[in-house]
Structure 1
Amino acid sequence: MLKTVKLSTLAGLTVALMAIAPATAQQRGGAINVATIGEPPTLDPMVSSTDIVGMISQHIYETLFTFDKDWKTTPLLADGMPTISADGRIYTIKLRPGVTFHDGQAMTSKDVVASLKRWTDLASRGKQIVDNIASIEALDATTVQISLKEPYAPLLALLAFNNSAAVIMPADKLDNPIKDAIGTGPYRVKERKPDQYLQLVRFDAYQSTSGEASGYGGARHQYVDEIRFVPVPDANTRVEGALAGQFTYTDSLPIESYPRLKGSASEPVVLAPFGWPMFVMNNKEGLLSDVRLRKAVQIALKQEDMLAAAFGDQAFYAVNAPMYPKNFLWHTKAGAEPYNVGDPDKAKTLLKEVGYDGQKPLRIVTSRQYEFHYKMAQVAAEYLKLAGFNVAMEVVDWATLVQRIRNPALWEIFVTHSPFLADPALISILSPTASGWWNTPAKIEAVAALNKATTEAERIQLWEKVQSLIFAEAPLVKIGDFNSLSAKSPNLQGFTPSPWPAFWNVSLKP
C-alpha cells in the first residue's frame, strides 16, 4: 500500500505529518533495523545541519519545543508554551518536572542555560540569533528566561528545529566535540561500530510528554526495545535490501525503484511533497563570490531537465520556482523570473564580461548516497560547460561532503536538499554562518526586517522581499519540488512518514 503525506491546505503550514493509526493494538518489544544513506558524521546535533544527524539524534536528545502535525510549535522539554512579554523580547519558559538524562542526572535549568549558550556558540542556527540575545538565565531550578535585544519572531521555530538543534545536554557533558551522547530522549546509545551500526536501546527512565501523538509532539511511546541505524551508502544496495526485507525501514530510495517495491517484502512510502533540492553556491571566496558568475550559473541551468533526470516520473517532482509551493502561507512568485531559463549563450556573455577564461575550475561537490543529487549535477555540468565554465565534478561520500563544505577554499557548488520548513528563518542560507556564507548588506537588512516583524501579514510581505533577493543575488539555485521515496516492512505499525523519520510510537506485529 502506498502511504503518502500530502500538502496541508491550512494557511501557515508546511507538510502535514499525517497520523497513521495502526490497524491493531501495538505490541511492546522487538528490534528494528533502519538503513540510512551513510554514517552520521557526528552524534552532536548542535554542530551538524544534516538530515541524517537530525533523524538519528532526535531519538537521543530533545529540545524545549518541537513541531506538531501542523508544524506549529508545541512543548517537549518545556512545561507548556512560554510566557512572552508585551514587547516580544522576554521569553519565560517553565521546564517539565521529573525529566532525567541518560546518565541518571535530573534535568534542571542549569543544564538548559548551559546547553543554550553552547548552541549559540557552536550551532549555525544559534549563531543566527546570538547577536540579538541579551541574556539566557535561570530564574529558579525549573524556569529559564531568554531576553532579546529586539523582537525575533522565529525564536520558537529555531528552538524547535532538529537540525543544528538546540538540544538539552547535561551541563557537565558539554565538551566540544562531545565525548558521550547523553540526552533525555526515549532511546539511549548502547553501542556504535562505525560503518556497521549505531545501536540505540530503550531508556527506561524516560519521561514522555502527555497528550495524543501529533507530528513530533505529544506522547512518545517506546514500543520497540532497540533501534539499529545501519549505514548503507550505496543506493542500489539499499534498494536490494528493501526488496529482500532485510531492513525494517529503508531511507531515501531512487524513484525508479518504486515499481519494484510494490509486491516485494517492503512497502513503498512516499512523502509528498518532501521538499526542494538546491545547488548552494560559495558566496564567500573563489569564482562564485562574484554575483555575476553566480547569475551566469543561474541562467545557464534548465531545472526541468535536471528534475527529469533525477526523478523520471513526473508524479515525483514539480518544476516550481517559488521557495514554497501553493497552499503554503509563504508561497509567492516574487522575483522568480530567472528560473528554468537554460540559456548557456546568455550565461556565456556574463562570463566574458567578468573575464572568466576557464583557467579556474568550477568545482561541483556531490554524493551518490543521494542518487538524485548526483543525477542533477550531471545534467547541470553539461549546461555549465556549454556556457564556458571549466567544470570539475567531485563525487564523494556524504560525510566527506559535509566536512568539505565547511572550508570555502575547497568548492564552488554543493548539492543538497531541504524539506519545506515551518518558518523561512530556518532556511539554511539565511544564516550568515551556514556553508554558502551569503551575507550581503541587502540580505542582512531584508532578513532582519522579516525576523523583527510581529504580525503574520507583515512577515508575508517581507518574505517576498527576501525571496526576490535570493533570485536576484543567486546565493543558491532552487531546482524544484520533489517527493521522497522510502520503504518499510509491512510488520512496522504506527509509522508516520515525515521529513526526519521517527521510530518512537512504532511497533512490530507479533
Structure 2
Amino acid sequence: MLRTLRYVGAAVAALTFGSMQPAEAQQRGGAATVATIGEPNTLDPMVSAGDLLGMITQHFYETLYTFDKNWELTPLLAEKLPEVSADGKVYTIPLRQGVTFHNSQPMTAKDVVASLKRWTDLASRGKLVAGNIQAIEAIDDNTVRLTLKEPFAALTALLAFNNSAAVVMPADHMENPIKEVIGTGPYRLKERKADQYIQLVRFDGYKPREGEPNGFGGARKQYLDEIRFVPVPDANTRVEGALAGQFDYADLLPVEAYDRLRGQSKTEPLMLESFGWAMFIMNNKQGMMTKLDLRKAVQAALNAEDMLAAAFGKPEFYSVDGAMYPKSYVWRTEVGTEAYNQGDADKAAALAKKAGYDGSPIRILTSRQYEFHYKMAQVAAEYLKAAGFKVDLQVVDWATLVQRRAEPAVWDIFITHSPFLPEPALIAPLPDTYPGWWASETKNKLLTAFNTEMDQKKRIAIWADIQKLIYEEVPFYKVGDFNALTAKSPRLQGFTASPWPYFWNASLKQ
C-alpha cells in the first residue's frame, strides 16, 4: 500500500491520504498497541519540538487550528478560521462552545488566553512570534483576540502545528513543568509507566466537530477504547513485533524490511514517499562550531549521497537533493545548493586550518532509535576523519539526545529529521531558540521580512534568500530526502497514513 506526501497549489502541501472504510463499517471497542521509536522526555508539547512527542500528545491535547487532508488550515478548537483585519494585525478567533477538558471543566476564552501566553513564553515556535504580539485578550467567554505589532503571515499555521504546539490547557494548570496532563482531546491519559507504555483511554466527554474526518481536521471519531504507545527503541525489534502481530502499528522501520513485511498475514507495509529530510544541526552557540569556517569545513567534507545510501539502501528510497523542498513544492529553489554534497577532504582540511582547528574531537550526538540517523553518523564520521578531524560519536537513546541537545556545552552536532512542512516558518531550526541557536542578524531580518510579507510571490522570493543564507552560514546541513516505512495490522481499520500517525477515526476489526 502506497502513501504519497506531495505538494499542490500555491501555499500548502497535500498528503494523499489512504482510503478509509466507511464509518458504519467500523466497530467500536478494543485497544490498539502502537510501537514507537522510544520514550518522549516530556508530555508537554509546548516545551519540546519532537515529532514523537507531537505524535502522542495530539491525542489528548488540541490546538485552535489544524490541517485537513490537503494541508489547508482548518479549525479545531476554534469555531472557524480567524477573522483578520485589513492591515493583517488583528486576529479575532471565535471558539467552539460546549468543549470540555478532561477534568470536566468547560473550555473558555480565559483558558485559551492563558495557554497562548504560556506558549509564547515557553515554546520555540511561540517565541518566534512573541515579540510581535501586542496583546492576547478575551473579548468574551467564547472569543479571543490577538493584536500584532506587524503582520505575521505564518501565525495561523503556527497555531495549528502539533509540536512546540499552542495547545489549550486549563487556565489553572499552567505550571512548568506541568503537574497534571489535562487537555480537550478524544483520548485522555490514564497511566504512564516509564519505558513500558503510555496508556490513553477514550474521553467520554469529548465533543467532536460535526461532519466527517478530514485529515487532522473534521470529526475525530472515538472507536478505540484504548491506545497504548509502547517504546521499542530497537528498529529490528519493531519489525519482528509487527511480523508477529504484536503491534497494531509500528512506526519508522528500516526500509530494508519492506520486502519482509509484504504479503504477511499479521502486518502490511506502508511507505510514505518524500516523507521528509534529514539534517545535521551545528552548535552555533558554544564550542568549535561557532566558527563559520569550521562549519563550512564540515559542509565541504560530507558526502550526502554516501550517507543516504548507507541509511536507506536502494536509491528509490531516497533523493540526493540539497534544496529545502522537493520539486513539487512552490517553495522549491536551488539557490545555494552548489555547496551541497561536496565530499571534498582537501577543501575541508584547508577550511579547518583557516579556522584554527586544534584537533579536538567533534562531538556528534545520534541515536539508534532512528537507525538511519545512526548510519548517516557512521559515514559522516569517516568523511570527517578523512579531512583530518577527530570524531567523538555519542550514541544515546532519543530521550537522552533531546535532553542533551538543550545543553550547548556538551555537543557540536546532533542529527535529526523533519517532514516537509506546508509553511517554511515552521521549520524547526530557524528560530534562535531551537537547539543549534542560529542567531544571525541577517537571518532574523530575512525571517521578519518573510513573516510580515502577505504577498505570496514576494514570500517565495524571500524564502530563496533564506535558503541561500543557510548554505552561506551553515547553521545545519541538509543530508537529503527520504521515504518512511511503517507497518500496520490488517485488523486496524480506518487508519490514515500521515507524517504524525493518529488513531482517532481508527478501529480494530474484532
If the TM-score is normalised by the length of the shorter chain, which range does it land in? over 0.9
Q: Identity of aligned pairs, percent? A: 63
Q: Which residue of 1 aligns with 2:219?
A: 219
Match of 2:168 in 1: 168
Contact 1:11 / 1:327 at 8 angstroms: preserved in 2? no
The alignment status of 1:104 with 2:104, answered yes or no, reads yes
Question: Which runs of structure 2 are paired with 1:176-187 in the superposition (5 Å)?
Answer: 176-187=176-187
1:158 aligns with 2:158: yes
Shift of 1:15: 4.5
C-alpha displacement of 1:13? 2.8
| Distance (Å, rounded) in 1 between the aligned partners of 2:257 and 2:12 | 30
Q: Which residue of 2 aligns with 1:501?
A: 501
Contact 1:63 1:166 in 2 (8 A): yes
**Partner SS state of residue 218, structure 2:** coil
CA offset digits 1:205-260 (Å, max 9, x no partner): 10111232121011100011100000111111111101111000000101111111
Q: 1 CA distance for matches of 2:428 and 2:190?
A: 32
Cα offset for 1:71? 1.2
Alpha-carbon distance, 1:508 to partner: 1.2
Which position in structure 2 is the counterpart of 1:196?
196
DSSP 3-state at the match of 1:173: coil
Match of 1:13 in 2: 12
TM-score by length of 2: 0.98
**1:12 deviation in Å?**
2.5
CA distance in 1: counterparts of 2:375 and 2:148, whole angstroms: 44
How big is the shift at 1:17? 4.4
Tell me the CA shift for residue 132 of structure 1.
Answer: 0.4
Q: What residue is the counterpart of 1:456 in the other structure?
A: 456
1:439 maps to amino acid: A
Distance in 1 between the 2:422 and 2:374 partners?
27
1:441 partnered with 2:441: yes
- Structure 1 equivalent of residue 261 of structure 2: 261
Maintained 8 Å contact 1:10/1:327: no
Distance 1:209 1:17, change over 3 A: farther
Q: Using the alignment, how far apart are the partners of 2:165 and 2:210 within structure 1? A: 22
Separation (CA, whole Å) in 1 of partners of 2:14 and 2:84: 27
Task: Compute the displacement of 1:19 (Å).
Answer: 4.5
Give the partner amino acid of 1:149: K
Q: For residues 56-455 of structure 1, what are the structure 2 equivalents within 5 Å?
A: 56-264=56-264, 265-358=266-359, 360-455=360-455
> SS where residue 429 of structure 1 aligns?
coil
Q: TM-score, normalized by length of structure 1? A: 0.98
The answer (yes or no) to whether the contact 2:107–2:170 under 8 Å persists in 1 is yes
Q: Distance in 2 between matches of 1:6 and 1:448?
A: 29
Alignment check: 8 A CA contact 2:3 2:18 kept:
no
CA distance in 2, matches of 1:410, 1:128: 25
Contact 1:19-1:215 at 8 Å conserved across structures:
no
Q: Does structure 2 retain, via aligned residues, the 8 Å contact 1:493–1:509?
A: yes
**Alignment length, in residue pairs?**
508
**1:82 counterpart letter in structure 2:** P
Cα contact 2:7–2:330 (8 A) shared by 1: no
Secondary structure at the aligned position of 1:446 is classed as helix
CA contact (8 A) 1:19 1:214 kept: no
CA contact (8 A) 1:317 1:482 kept: yes
Aligned equivalents of 2:378 and 2:403: distance in 1?
22
State whether residues 75 and 217 of structure 2, in contact with CA within 8 Å, keep that contact through their aligned partners in structure 1: yes
Let me know the Cα RMSD of the aligned residues: 1.0
Instruction: Name the CA distance, whole Å, in 2 between partners of 1:238 and 1:35.
Output: 7
The DSSP-based 3-state class of the residue aligned with 2:350 is: helix
After superposition, give the CA deviation of every residue in 1:346-385 in whole Å (9 maximum; x if it has no partner): 0000111122131x21000000000000000000000011
1:467 aligns with 2:463: no
Distance 2:116 2:502 in 1: 24
Q: Point out where structure 2 has 5 or more consecutive residues left out of the alignment.
A: none
Contact 1:17 1:215 survives alignment (8 Å): no
Closer/same/farther in 2, CA of residues 418 and 15 from structure 1, 3 Å limit: farther
